[in-house]
Amino acid sequence: MPQSMLIIDDDEIVLSSCRKIFSSEGFHVVITSSPEEGLKLASNSAYDVILCDWKMPGFDGLDVVEELNRRSPESAVVMISGYPSVGRATEAMKRGAMDYMPKPFTPEEIMDTVKRAVQRKMTEEKKALGRFEKIIGSLQFPVPGNEDKAPKTIAETVASTIGVGKVTSPWVTVMILGMLAGAYIGFGGLLSTSVTFDMPGFFGIGFTRIMAGSAFSLGLMLVVIAGAELFTGNNLMVSSVLSHEITVSNMLKRWGLVYLANFVGSIVLALLFYFSGLWKTGDGALGAAAVGIASKKVALGFNEALFRGVGCNWLVCLAVWMALAARQTIGKIFAIFFPIMGFVAIGFEHCVANMYFIPAGIFLKTWANLPAIQNVAADSLNWITFFWKNLIPVTIGNIIGGAVFVGMSYWGAYLKPARPANPDGKNRQGN
């Protein structure tokens, strides 16, 4: 008799992929997107394993886990969540979950987690030992550990899970998350300017840049940990295209939507900066610093802006890549901090950050009637130079840096199919 599994999740992609994974291992899999139906199924049938999502409309996944444990005490319950945290994992275990799995995950990871959950159930309850030994023996995985993900695992996750999930998400969801990402990067830019506007005269340019980069890293931390859609990070979707998981058309459509949403969110932050009056700090010194930053950015040559964009998103996508390797929030923070601090300290250019920095400078130049600001405002600081002299070349550079130097590079290193051997056993020179 096949082992049984119940999966409760409102994400159709997770339901279909998990059913495929575990059905191939001999499980009888029942799926439902309704927590209410899942509780009824758990009450009426005995399942060896139950996978339950944390965040579902109208329900707290922790409460569902607790009720599942009450109705089906013989089942090994595993909570899965797209919003992982140490506190949530601890609470889930307290309420009866045998393990906790953050999304996205690879087939190997979710199968390893199921094995670990079953082992814990055996230890805690010592029930149906022979049945659970059969489950463990049928899965045949290596013993799981607590290590962070290996580079090849990250490449597989990006290509097969993340890219697919992004193109299948509703456009309204993507638009909202895109606007949030633009605002979050704007917060990083605002913090960076606020803490360094008067530092160069005291600490020098180099140390000031390090502090600016340290503060700016807040932006990507908010994007990755809180959850948002950032155009530059989405350049990694090229891995999914190369793996034939999504089409070029779908990728470009999603890039365009996220880019527009990022722009809207960044403009909102630039307007917030102006109308809050924060630019008046230090008798307008903060506003003058913001205008000075914008003026310098539109003064770059096309090639300068493009190549600074390449270096920037090379590091930004590496930050995202390393954050995917970390299983805990603190690991993600450190993974993000150093590459982002580095690109700002070096002087590279980020298109979404510039969607905040340059409009903020334009708003101040146009509306703020303070001598300290007008004295540093360049005549060339306007909407035309913003688009043609900075945003366009920096965006092109960002795409090259993220898609080519990170997405394509790691796909080629880990996922590119091996060439078949020459059937006649001869090499290409005919020897």
Contact 216, 357 (CB under 8 A): no
Is the pTM value of this prediction over 0.75?
Answer: no
Position 188 pLDDT exceeds 80 = yes
Task: Give strand pairing partners of 50.
Answer: 6, 77
Domain boundaries of the chain, sorted by first residue? 4-139, 151-415
Split at pLDDT 50, 70, 90, the class of 429 is very low
Q: Express each pLDDT in 280-323 by its tens digit.
A: 999 899 999 999 999 999 999 999 999 999 999 999 999 999 99
* The pLDDT value given to residue 237: 96
Q: How far is CA 340 from CA 165, 217, 247, 378, in A?
A: 25, 5, 30, 28
pLDDT, average across residues 151-176: 91
Mean of the pLDDT values across residues 4-25? Answer: 87
**pLDDT score of 182 more than 90:** yes
Strand 55-56 and strand 59-60: pairing? antiparallel
Q: What are residue 5's DSSP bridge partners?
A: 29, 49
Mean pLDDT of 53-80: 82
Burial class (CB in 10 A: 0-12, 13-18, 19+), 263: buried
Count of residues making up the chain = 431
Q: Stretch 171-198: mean pLDDT, rounded?
A: 97
Pick from 38-42, 96-100, 102-106, 146-150: least confident: 146-150
Q: What would the pLDDT profile of 222-232 be if each residue is shown by its tens digit?
A: 999 999 999 99
pLDDT at 82: 76
What mean pLDDT value characterizes the chain? 87
Cα distance from N-terminal residue to C-terminal residue, the chain: 56
Residue 55 DSSP SS3:
strand
pLDDT at 28: 86
Instruction: Quote the CA–CA distance of 229 and 102 in Å, as a whole number.
Output: 18
Which position has the higher pLDDT, 48 or 264? Answer: 264
pLDDT at 132: 47
**Neighbouring residues of 130: CB distance < 8 A, sequence distance ≥ 6:** none
**pLDDT given at position 114:** 86
Q: Which of 99-103, 206-210, 319-323, 399-403 has the lowest mean pLDDT?
A: 99-103
Chain-centre distance for alpha carbon 53: 19
Of 180, 201, 179, 183, the residue nearest 191 (C-alpha): 183
What is the secondary structure of 382-422 as a DSSP string?
SHHHIIIIIIHHHHHHHHIIIIIIIIIHHIIIIISPPPPPP
State what percent of residues in the chain have pLDDT above 90. Answer: 52
Distances (CA, A) of 196 to 131, 202, 356, 368: 63, 10, 17, 21
Q: How many helices (H) and strands (E) does the chain have?
A: 21, 7
Q: Which two tokens stand for residue 230?
A: 């950032």
Q: What are 28's strand-pairing partners?
A: 4
Domain 4-139, CATH class in plain words: alpha beta
In tens, the pLDDT along 69-121 reads 888 888 888 888 877 777 777 887 788 888 888 888 888 888 888 888 877 77
pLDDT of residue 145: 44
Higher pLDDT, 346 or 74: 346
Give the range with max mean pLDDT: 33-47, 91-105, 400-414: 400-414
**DSSP string of 251-285, one letter each residue:** HHHHHHHHHHHHHHHHHHHHHHHHHHTGGGHHHHH
CA distance 263 to 359: 10
Superfamily of the domain at 151-415: Glycerol uptake facilitator protein. (1.20.1080.10)
Average pLDDT over residues 258-284: 96
Lowest mean pLDDT among 12-26, 36-50, 105-119, 415-429: 415-429
Contact 250, 167 (CB under 8 A): yes
Query: Mean pLDDT, to the nearest integer, of 363-385?
Result: 86
Identical topology for domains 4-139 and 151-415:
no
- For 349: left if phi > 0, alpha if psi spans -120 to 50, otherwise beta; the answer is beta
pLDDT of 342 higher than 80 = yes
Confidence of residue 262 (pLDDT cuts 50, 70, 90): very high
Which range has highest mean pLDDT (7-11, 57-61, 304-308)? 304-308
Residue 166: which of 253, 87, 294, 102 has the closest Cα?
253
Distance, in Å, from the CA atom of 267 to the CA atom of 354, rounded to the nearest integer, reads 10
pLDDT grade for 126, boundaries at 50, 70 and 90: low
List Cα–Cα distances, 189 to 120, 140, 344, 428, in angstroms: 46, 49, 10, 54
**pLDDT value at 269 more than 70:** yes
Q: How far apart are CA 88 and CA 426, in angstroms?
A: 58
Q: Percent of the chain, pLDDT > 70?
A: 91
248-276 helix and 351-367 helix, angle to the nearest 10 degrees: 30
> What's the rounded Cα separation, in Å, for the pair 200 and 188?
19
Closest CA to 289 of 192, 217, 219: 192
Instruction: State how far the Cα of 106 lies from the Cα of 98, in Å rounded to an integer.
Output: 19
**What φ, ψ does residue 201 adopt, rounded to 5°?**
-70, -20
- 38-55 burial, b at 16+ Cβ within 10 Å, e below that, comes to bbebbeeeebbbbbbbbb
